[in-house]
Chain A
Amino acid sequence: AQSVAQPEDQVNVAEGNPLTVKCTYSVSGNPYLFWYVQYPNRGLQFLLKYITGDNLVKGSYGFEAEFNKSQTSFHLKKPSALVSDSALYFCAVRTPDSGNTPLVFGKGTRLSVIA
């Protein structure tokens, strides 16, 4: 069975500093990995995905993520945090090798960027 772990419930960072939100996954087969962001009372917004190829993936709003197969990780990063980045972040995985598998989400990490 596939699963995602986001080990930090909360990440606090000062505005202008780099941020990292951690994600590790467990799958049998090759993973498709996704990051989403959720603002209060809103649905999830897609940020970026890793399918294949270059391990460093760039996405929306200056976010990027690095796929590390040996560590089964897909950490989300941004070089310089903004107060407006404060939100709930979800990592998700699916394995296309297993047929019609749904997206499996982590529990989420709340990011607070402090001015």
Chain B
Amino acid sequence: DTGVSQDPRHKITKRGQNVTFRCDPISEHNRLYWYRQTLGQGPEFLTYFQNEAQLEKSRLLSDRFSAERPKGSFSTLEIQRTEQGDSAMYLCASSSQGDNQPQHFGDGTRLSIL
């Protein structure tokens, strides 16, 4: 049973550059979530997909952020024109359908903006 996989694990980039992260969920899960976690905080919800449909977006998700899940399998999160404040751990999670189902997390992508 493979878990949620995220790539890359670490990304260092200069301010103003674009970055893209990938998440491969557990294969039988139709829900996929993106969270952002900063030091000393719990994960903060960014967006979620049910199959290929993006059903919810947080106000945290500025117009520089875009997420896709084109075939209802893997997902990408792109940040355009990165800023210092974007430095964080970006976590992906997946779950079966149902609000009582636990979310299973990947190990995250740590983004550092120089």
Contact = CB atoms under 8 A, between A and B. Distances in A.
Nearest to B105: A43
Given A42-B107, A43-B107, A102 B56 contact: yes
Nearest to B107: A43
A100 B18 CA distance: 30
Interface residues of A, number: 25
Interface in A72-115: 90, 92, 94, 96, 100-108
Contacts of B74: none
Q: For this complex, into which size category does the number of interface residues on chain B fall? A: 20 to 34
A108 B106 contact: no
B41 A102 contact: no
B108 interface: yes
B41 A107 contact: yes
A44 interface: yes
B42 A108 contact: yes
Interface of B: 4, 6, 33, 40-45, 48, 55-56, 58, 91, 93, 99-100, 102-108, 110
A46 B43 contact: no
B16 to A, nearest CB: 27
Given A100-B56, A105-B43, A106-B42, A43 B103 contact: no
A43 B108 contact: yes
A42 B105 CA distance: 9
Nearest to A45: B105
B39 to A, nearest CB: 10
A107 B99 contact: no
Please name the 3 residue pairs, one residue from A and one from B, whose CB atoms are nearest each other, closest first: A105-B42, A43-B105, A102-B45
Contact of A46 (B42, B91, B102, B108): B102
